[in-house]
Structures are given as structure tokens and as C-alpha cells.
Amino acid sequence: MTTLLQINASLFSNNGQSSRLSEQFVGGWRAANPQGKVVVRDLAAAPVPHLDAQRFGALLAKPEERSAQQQAVVDFSDQLIDELRHADVIALGLPMYNFGVPSTLKAYFDHVARAGVTFKYTETGPVGLLNGKKAYVFAARGGQYAGTALDTQTGYVRDFLRFIGISDVEFVYAEGLNMGEESKRSALDAASASIRQLTAPLRAAA
């Protein structure tokens, strides 16, 4: 069974523009994969705790030395990683807040980046272990930043996913959403058209 993991990072849950774009893609994917499975990880409805010294220490502790509290932290991290490991496709709804990724997404990344689990260190550098996956990122922004120095998201998200082994990543942007109704409508229409282009081959192959 083919599995898609949908990660919504909007503070507004499934009402955020990035989540709606992601949902459009998921709808097309469902049509092409009627027997497929969709797992939703909503970082607003179920926030991942931010990494602190206590949680970081739990992730580093040797299994035989973990306290019950530390084991609970590891079990939670394992759950997030298992969702990624079993996913063939990842759809990430990504809003921009104050020129960066939502802090809840950063917390999520902090809990899935684990040496020996999602990546390993080698003599030539780190190697990602979550291979063979395709990721789509649906980026919604109030201003226009793609291709400029103010776009701190694209490189960071692409680099992080590559770090854990997910190198096949495609971005769809909806920018200028706070620059007037015409700009918003045009951006969302263009993003929807891009999503239809992405899902058309999937439906044709179904």
C-alpha cells in the first residue's frame, strides 16, 4: 500500500493557506491512489514540544540508562520517525512567519533528526537514511521572497530533508497573499494550477 504523510505547519491548522494547498494535492493523490493511505500530522492540533536540554538528553541517553520519562520522549520521537519511514510521499504545508519556518516545524525537525536512526555519520560526512521518498512543499507567503536573500525557507527545508535522506523535493509557491486581493487570487490560482500539473500524471497512471 502506498502511503502519503501530510504535514501541516500552519498555526491555523487545516484553515491555513499552505494547508489548503497541501490538501488540494492530497485530493489529487487520493484520486490516483484510491487504495492508498494518508497520515496527517497537524502541528497546530498536536504540537511537537520544543527541544530543551531535558528532551535532548533523553534522545542521547543509552537505551539501558533511560528513565521512564526519557523513554517517553524517545517513544514520541520514534512515532514521528516511523510516520516518515513508512511514507512514500510527503506533502508539507509551509507558511512563512517572520521570515522563517514555524517554530513547531523546527521542533518537529529536531525530533526526527537522530544520529543512527534517520542519518549516520561517515568518514565523508553525514548520510541520510530515509531514502526513496518524494516530498512536495506548499509554501504560502504574505510577501514575495522566492529567489531572494529573504527566502530563508527553501534552502533550509531542502537541506534538512536531504540530510535525512529525502533528496527528491519539489516546491510550489503562493506568494503575495497579503499584497491585496488581486495578488492573493492570482497567487492561489497559479499555485492551484501547479498542483493540477503535479497530480495529472498521477491520475493518468492510475
DSSP 156: H
10 Å Cβ neighbour count for 85? Answer: 17
From the centroid of its chain, how far is CA 48? 13
DSSP state of 111: H
Q: Is 98 annotated as a binding residue?
A: yes
Residue 136 assigned ligand-binding role: no
Q: Is 97 annotated as a binding residue?
A: yes
For the packed helices 53-60 and 68-86, what is the interaxial angle rounded to 10 degrees? 80
Which residue from 90, 92, 101, 102 is spatially nearest to 22, judged by alpha carbons?
A: 92
**Is 67 annotated in some ligand binding site?**
no
Q: Of 204, 194, 202, which is closest to residue 21 (Cα–Cα)? A: 194
Element spanning 185, H or E = helix 181-205
**How many angstroms separate the CA atoms of 3 and 25, rounded?**
14
3-state secondary structure of 62: coil
The binding site consists of: 10, 96-99
The binding site for FMN consists of: 10, 96-99
